[in-house]
Structure 1
Amino acid sequence: MQKYLAGVGRAFAVRVVVGMLVLTGGLFWRALHASDGQRAEGGEPVLCGPIKEGQPAGYPAMCAALNRPDLAELVGAPGERIVSAGVGTYSTWDLGAAQAQVGQLEVAISDRRTIPYDLLLDSTRVSAREVAPVAGRPAVAYAEPLHWVTLNLGTGGSGSDPIPAPAPTRDPGTAYHLVVARNADGSGGSLDVSLQRVDGGSADSERLPALAEKLMADLDGWNAPPLPTEPGQPTRAPRPSPSPTEFRPFSGGY
């Protein structure tokens, strides 16, 4: 009975988390991102905005770790500059969250102490697979197709008719995520690092492991060696994606 209840709880958590991804990360909603970030003025460096009521307590430290001079090189956009930085999108599970845009690339990071790193492997709604460890910690990569969202906030000239929404002119693209466990045995929650292009182009997912290691080195709780796996626990072989996919993260290991 205990195992059954645990399975039911995990299945429910998968649905909740995937639903959250569809509502927040999966929606390519530019107005939402812009409202949460501080944009650079002229040639001045961008600053992280002050924390506001209701935002994750760890936002300032995570934004500072993300808003770094070498971010352009880490994401594969040498010569570009950071044009915005802020809390970005976040959920009630996030202890910390931050987002920055460098050139046409958008980087986001979230610290979720209560969400297992491999939770999305149980869902067929995202392309997820276990990959090589990151800084001694197990990790999962997944691809998240983005979608356009259009809000009709006004009315037409006749009074009550909504203004027709313009059709999107290009594919909004894909966000690539790397989710890393806090501890070597997969426990302790997870850190989600994502990379996407705001112009609908393709981001380089191969850069996520090195980017995650650099960010973790500057984050309290992540910058120490992971707790070791309990003695006697077997090493679990990587699990493939639950559904066929062309997503091949990090040199096509699968």
Structure 2
Amino acid sequence: MPDPPPAEKEPSHLGRAVAAVAIFGLVGALLWRGQDRLPGSIAASPANPASCSSSEHDELPREYKTSRAVSGYELCKALNQPDLALFLGTPGEKPTTASGSNTLVDKDPAPEAEVDFDTCTVQLSAGFKVSVAEWVALLSLGKQDSVKTFTVLGRPAVFSSSRAMRMNLDPVNGSSADGNGPPVRTLYVARDKGDRGGMYHIAVWSKSGALPTDRALVRIAEKVLPALSGR
């Protein structure tokens, strides 16, 4: 069941906006190391799908325990579906790696999971404060085109486009990052139908820049989010 609204005084709109930028800006700041993600054929993929590398019994940060936040391992297990490649339009492709992490952003849980294929990467992450409505307001301030809400599983949702940060590794002159990485398409879905705070976000990007359809991201959400409904 969704967490009940907090009893304490709600933070200011500005404070929540800052929290939104801190938490969900991670998606737009994904680091892309092109030399580590060279395209390959489906036939070169491993015979068996990758399993989630984070142990179910890893010690969670205290903030995860007190808030009952979903863990990166749980996100990874939900995302690493046998038919994930089918939804992405590459049936038969096997994931090369699958992992989850229990990160903190400004002392707030910000778990995430990634499933990598030869052709693309899918990320599932979660935030537990900012609502879809507040995120839409921030996207509008950023003058993104076509910021339109709809529903997924009866919950408010919205799409957003950005570009991943590309990491340029130079052992001589030092590493740097720029915003010329591949395009990223992200679907944000509220944790509950009332949009009382918190979102799941599903992001997809590929080296070639060829992204799946928006419908594919919706189908992924419809598949993986019910597995997290108790969280």
TM-score normalised per structure 1: 0.65
**What pairs up with 1:105-124 in 2 under 5 angstroms?**
105-123=120-138, 124=141
- Aligned pair partner of 1:29 in 24, 28, 31: 31
Question: Once superposed, what is the RMSD of the aligned Cα atoms?
Answer: 3.4
2:190–2:200 contact (8 Å) kept in structure 1 = yes
2:75–2:113 contact (8 Å) kept in structure 1 = yes
- For 2:27, the aligned partner's letter is G
**How much does 1:13 deviate?**
2.5
Per-residue deviation, residues 98-126 of structure 1 (Å, max 9, x unmatched): 11113312111122222212222222237
Q: In the alignment, is residue 10 of structure 1 matched against residue 10 of structure 2?
A: no
* Greater C-alpha radius of gyration: 1
Q: Kindly tell me: are residues 74 and 135 of structure 1, through their superposed partners in 2, closer, same or farther at Cα, counting changes over 3 Å?
A: same
1:189 alignment partner in structure 2 = 198
Q: Kindly tell me: are residues 95 and 149 of structure 1, through their superposed partners in 2, closer, same or farther at Cα, counting changes over 3 Å?
A: closer
Q: Provide the aligned length of Structure 1 versus Structure 2.
A: 200
**SS of the residue aligned with 2:227?**
coil
**How much does 1:86 deviate?**
0.6
**How much does 1:21 deviate?**
4.4
- Aligned pair partner of 1:143 in 161, 173, 177: 161
2:161–2:186 contact (8 Å) kept in structure 1 = yes
CA distance in 2, matches of 1:21, 1:113: 11
2:109–2:127 contact (8 Å) kept in structure 1 = yes
**SS of the residue aligned with 1:82?**
coil
Unaligned runs of 5+ in 2: 1-8, 37-43, 65-69
The answer to which structure, 1 or 2, has the higher relative contact order (CA under 8 A, 6+ apart) is 2
2:156–2:193 contact (8 Å) kept in structure 1 = yes
Q: Kindly tell me: are residues 166 and 96 of structure 1, through their superposed partners in 2, closer, same or farther at Cα, counting changes over 3 Å?
A: closer
- For 1:30, the aligned partner's letter is W
1:43 alignment partner in structure 2 = 47
Per-residue deviation, residues 198-238 of structure 1 (Å, max 9, x unmatched): 3333342231111101001222426xxxxxxxxxxxxxxxx
- For 2:82, the aligned partner's letter is P
**What pairs up with 1:39-188 in 2 under 5 angstroms?**
42-51=46-55, 58-87=71-100, 90-92=103-105, 93-94=108-109, 96-123=111-138, 124-125=141-142, 127=144, 129-152=147-170, 154-155=171-172, 162=173, 172-188=181-197
CA distance in 2, matches of 1:119, 1:72: 32
- For 1:119, the aligned partner's letter is E
**SS of the residue aligned with 2:49?**
coil
TM-score normalised per structure 2: 0.71
**How much does 1:89 deviate?**
8.7
**How much does 1:171 deviate?**
5.1
- The percentage of counterpart residues that share the same residue type is 22
**How much does 1:136 deviate?**
1.0
1:71–1:102 contact (8 Å) kept in structure 2 = no
CA distance in 2, matches of 1:125, 1:221: 33
Per-residue deviation, residues 35-92 of structure 1 (Å, max 9, x unmatched): xxxxx98423211112455676612221111111100011222221111111269543
2:45–2:93 contact (8 Å) kept in structure 1 = no
**SS of the residue aligned with 1:104?**
coil
- For 1:25, the aligned partner's letter is V
Q: Kindly tell me: are residues 90 and 192 of structure 1, through their superposed partners in 2, closer, same or farther at Cα, counting changes over 3 Å?
A: farther
Unaligned runs of 5+ in 1: 35-39, 156-161, 223-254
**SS of the residue aligned with 1:217?**
helix
1:235 alignment partner in structure 2 = none
